[in-house]
Chains A and B, each alone.
Chain A
């Protein structure tokens, strides 16, 4: 992986790595990409796409409204709230 790709991934994930951390992440990805190349070499043309690893399908529930939590309960662990809102640093759009 190119360093520039890693930097753009950092931005997307709101992370900032040191140069030392970047080197170790890049080394890890290089090792993985060898394995990915091996997998990509396998002919999967006639294999049906796997949708899920579990043999369970259609886990659905009925459309019934239930109030299970109060706002106060949910906001107990919130760093900041105001008038029942979660409060976060200002966003400029």
Chain B
């Protein structure tokens, strides 16, 4: 599998500041939906700026779609659609004219297909009805979608989306996530940064976790989650009895959660979960739900780093 993004020792120190990104080794496989996860201030945007040639790395190298950045922007960037730190639009131009403006700046964009490509991009993000309104009258969600449309003006080998759901209401977030899934389903590699664990978990196949400019861990989401064992979970109106019985049955690490759920370490391979469940029911516990819950990315994060995922940053 080839890497769409590959960095070695990528480092950035802003003028007069501390290290924003510290010796980052990142590998984004082709075809993945890559979640770049980290609390605010952990260096996600800085990394993306370096990958797009907007700022010069203090040290290290970066390759994007096979070209070295900085250096190969002219051949690489036309194949990259990017949404960096929110959309930026000419408020006095219509949505359509905004896209035309950005398309004219692309050295590979064919002027003969421009109108159809702009219309198709607007259609893709559902902005056709508002295409001829001044962009300053757009809601934040519409602006975000127009920004996405700009990233979709051409067939792209890579989409870089920096916190694309930031500032949106839940409905707006769902719309953007649905779009990202659609794009990923087309086979486009998506590099998605976010400070929301559940967002990464919902849409990504791979992830890298950043904290304070450092890469903590990267790999397939499933693999990271598999690194931690899930929890045996019993949903019941009788948590006290359930906990007592489970302990008697030799299950370790039994605890009763605030929500009344009883959780415990999953038993070894020699114990059949069905037998445990039957024993609970025989003991008079009314069981609503029973099973081993898959470990979440958050569990993996905590297990791998030994710290909580603190978004406060």
A interacts with B: no
Which residues does A use to contact B, with CB under 8 Å?
none
Which residues does B use to contact A, with CB under 8 Å?
none
